[in-house]
Amino acid sequence: MNPNVVNSLFENKPLLMLAPMQGLTTRVLRQWFIDPVEPDMVFTEFMRVQTRSRKRVTRSDLSEVNSHRGEIPLVAQMIGHGEGPLCEAAEGLQLAGAQHLNLNLGCPYGRMLSGATGGELLREPLKLAALLGKLRARIKVDFSIKCRAGYEDPRQIFELLPVFADCGVDWLILHPRTVEQRYGGEADHRLTAEVAAICPLPLIANGDINDVATGLELLKIPGLSGLMLGRGALADPFLFERLRKRQIEPVPQVERSEQLRDYIGDLLPGYLEQFCGERQALMKLKDLLNFIPDSESQRILGKMKRAQSLEKFSKLLQEL
């Protein structure tokens, strides 16, 4: 990778990125964020690398890359195992136009039928180092890693940092939980600060960044290059904007309700197109509602989750 390309990514710090969330950050949802709030980067949902097929990446995943338009970078995230399949997948994604590739070393549900994937790869650091070296040799574009702090020991990250640097990884996203923790407890951003102090790569903080105050506190960490927002962004789609404006004060409920109506309503046409029919579109919208913990609107949101038709869902949406 040309270091000038990586430097240009991080010259306007801090970067605010939309996290990959499986089943949620679809093309339609990513585009919604791109249009009104402009994250500095967006990620695909993880692309599962096929080990038993000649086509290492599905046609639909490749279309996610070659259909992306605009100036905001799209990062294609891979999850899988085996040097051969992962390298071939990386080459296929580059041919499709991917300029940014990411390897998932964080998913805590990381086992395919024939091998470890995601966070499970942290159990064998020597094999992981060999894999990363092979991948780096085949990846000619920007290459990053999204990583848990360790498999069972959160301080494993300090052993992994030189491995990542030696293998030519360009930058790192750290979620400071272990793989074994899954999503329990709290992300330990004291550990993020320790890592940032010595990390030889640009470092992005991820995990439990659900409000402006938390985000701004993290951005005070010396050496941190930015934040990745996941559940917090789904719950408050304008969190990116509020962070940039340093707007800690809560949004008035009238404004919050209007924003939620627009957010959910704007997604509806795209979901109907992408998911081929009302039933699937409705299920996807209900999945999103599970990430909106709005105490003032829970009665209506609860009814929307129970709605059996898109017509009923849409009527309830107007009552928010």
Given a cut of 80, whether residue 111 has pLDDT beyond it is no
What does DSSP assign to residue 269? Answer: H
3-state secondary structure 270-302: HHHHHCCCHHHHHHHHHHHHCCCCCHHHHHHHH
**pLDDT tens digit sequence for 73-97:** 999 999 998 999 999 999 999 999 9
CB of 90 closer than 8 Å to CB of 100: no
Beta bridge partners of 78: 47, 103
Is the pTM higher than 0.85? The answer reads: yes
Question: Where does 20-179 have alpha helices with state H?
Answer: 27-34, 59-66, 83-95, 125-138, 157-166
Given a cut of 80, whether residue 145 has pLDDT beyond it is yes
Question: Where does 199-238 have alpha helices with state H?
Answer: 212-218, 231-235
Amino acid at 140: K
pLDDT for the residue 114? 60
pLDDT for the residue 186? 92
The Cα–Cα gap between 252 and 185 comes to: 30
Within 10 Å of residue 247's Cβ, how many Cβ atoms?
14
| pLDDT band per the 50, 70, 90 thresholds, residue 311 | very high
The domain defined by 3-245 folds into TIM Barrel (3.20.20)
Burial class (CB in 10 A: 0-12, 13-18, 19+), 309: exposed
Within 10 Å of residue 55's Cβ, how many Cβ atoms?
12
The domain limits of the chain are 3-245, 253-317
- Beta strands 171-178; 142-150: pairing state: parallel
Q: What percent of the chain shows pLDDT beyond 90?
A: 80
| pLDDT band per the 50, 70, 90 thresholds, residue 319 | very high
14: cis peptide before it, omega within 30°?
yes
The Cα–Cα gap between 221 and 227 comes to: 11
First to last CA, the chain: 48
pLDDT for the residue 217? 98
